[in-house]
Chains A and B, each alone.
Chain A
Amino acid sequence: MNCKDFESMIHEIVSRRAADKTKQLEALEHAGRCLWCALRLDEETKLTQSLQAFARTLDLQRAPTRVEEALVQAFREGTLRAAGPRFGLAAKRLWRRLSWGLVFAATVAAAWIVVLRTARVPPHSSVPLHRAANTAIPLTPTPNPSQNNATEDPDKDLLQEVQADLEREVPEAVAPAVLIAEERNEILTNKEQTKTTLGKGEK
């Protein structure tokens, strides 16, 4: 064994941790021959003794009793809290299921109310066409029966009004139709004139 090997295992020697007893004996033999290693061994032994003396002064040191009391209290509360969420979780699940059920019931009820209300109103297809025409909004304001001695048939009234309109000036609403008719007549007259001209020319 040399000084380097001795130095590497000096802590095991002084703390009696060396697993290999043969090596420990070799190290001690080396210290017997080497002055420097003997001094190192002495130095390390003294340090170990000082550290052990210091450690002994703290041997009986413990955390105060209040720490244990606080921790036991915390443990008790923690156990209760840990038990708490199990009930809370079940209640939450139940509430979630109930709320979904309530939402579903409300939806069904709302749909049922809508169906009932729509069923009371008769569909448009069941109304006869002539009745529908009667209920249509008139183009002109309906004359007040108290002010005017209008006939009872509204169709007749409407027809009379249209005729009156036509007798007056051509209203803007029918102007395009009238213009088309006028143009047609003009074209026809032009055609006839052309024909007569051509007939005269042949002759």
Chain B
Amino acid sequence: MAGLTEIRDEQLLKMMQGGDEDAFATLYRRRQGAIYRFVLEMSGSASLAEDVTQEVFMALIRDSRGYDPSRGSLGAYLLGMARHHALRLIKRDRTYVSISQTWDGSRDREDLAPLSPENPHSEMSRRESIHWVQQAILSLPEHYREAVVLCDLNEMSYEDAASVLGCSVGTVRSRLHRGRALLIQKLAGGKKVEAGDKAIDPSRCLA
């Protein structure tokens, strides 16, 4: 089993196609975290993230020959499937992405470290800031949200993100740019403007 962790995804997939259960388990453990987090960040729902993760790997079990290595990495292929399932479920139940809804990450927040006894105020402020970021991300339109989630939160390259989203690198860049601009606006509107700060109009910079 220790040897399997060093094997590349494509090789594990071939072994899995041959009925190797350990290869499947290794592949699952390697890739499930990214898929689960991607859906969680996209939807804000832990239960939906769980469902989608299960659906993606069930689809891989049913038809693992649908993956074409020439079109991108296996990780990107799985994330593409996760995106497809997640968008379908989000469209079915829009309430998951409503800004008015509370983040379905109660478990996540409980998992956070307890408030630091030295500086509880700054810790609370940090948590509040994270909460606002979560809400701002969930309020973005889907195509901007997925670009931000993939490139900023998961630090994926533009090329890989383009492979997941099924669009060009230029489209990823422009969506990311627009998504970030919207985030800045939302975060500036959600928080109290501190003294001396003022919102920047990017159009003036372009003049």
Contact = CB atoms under 8 A, between A and B. Distances in A.
A3 B206 contact: yes
A104 interface: no
B54 A36 contact: no
A63 B111 contact: no
Nearest to A6: B205
Contacts of B202: 7, 40
A50 B50 contact: no
A174 interface: no
Given A40-B200, A71-B57, A61 B40 contact: yes
B33 A68 contact: no
A48 B54 CA distance: 31
A176 to B, nearest CB: 90
A39 B184 CA distance: 12
Chain B, interface size category, equals 35 or more
B152 A15 contact: yes
Nearest to B107: A61
A161 B170 CA distance: 117
Contacts of B68: none
Residue among A15, A37, A58 having the largest count of chain B Cβ atoms under 10 Å? A58
A57 B127 CA distance: 10
Interface string B15-55: 01001010011001100110111001100000001100110
Interface in B132-175: 133-134, 137, 148, 151-155, 157, 173
A131 interface: no
A109 interface: no
B97 interface: no
Interface in A43-81: 43-44, 47-48, 50-55, 57-58, 60-64, 67-68, 70-72, 74-76, 78-79
Nearest to B20: A79
Interface on chain A toward B: helix, strand, loop, or mixed SS? helix
A33 to B, nearest CB: 13
Contacts of B28: 68, 71-72
Contacts of A50: 129-130, 133, 187
B22 to A, nearest CB: 10
A178 B133 CA distance: 126
B119 to A, nearest CB: 16
B36 A62 contact: yes
A82 B19 contact: yes
A11 interface: yes
Contacts of B180: 11, 44, 47
16 contacts: A15-B151, A36-B200, A44-B180, A44-B184, A47-B180, A48-B152, A51-B152, A51-B153, A58-B37, A58-B41, A60-B111, A61-B36, A63-B33, A70-B54, A71-B28, A72-B24
Interface of A: 3-4, 6-7, 11, 15, 17, 34, 36-37, 39-40, 43-44, 47-48, 50-55, 57-58, 60-64, 67-68, 70-72, 74-76, 78-79, 82-83
Given A51-B153, A54-B134, A55-B153, 17 more contacts: A3-B205, A4-B206, A15-B152, A40-B205, A43-B200, A51-B133, A51-B148, A53-B130, A58-B153, A63-B50, A64-B50, A67-B53, A70-B54, A75-B16, A79-B19, A79-B21, A82-B19
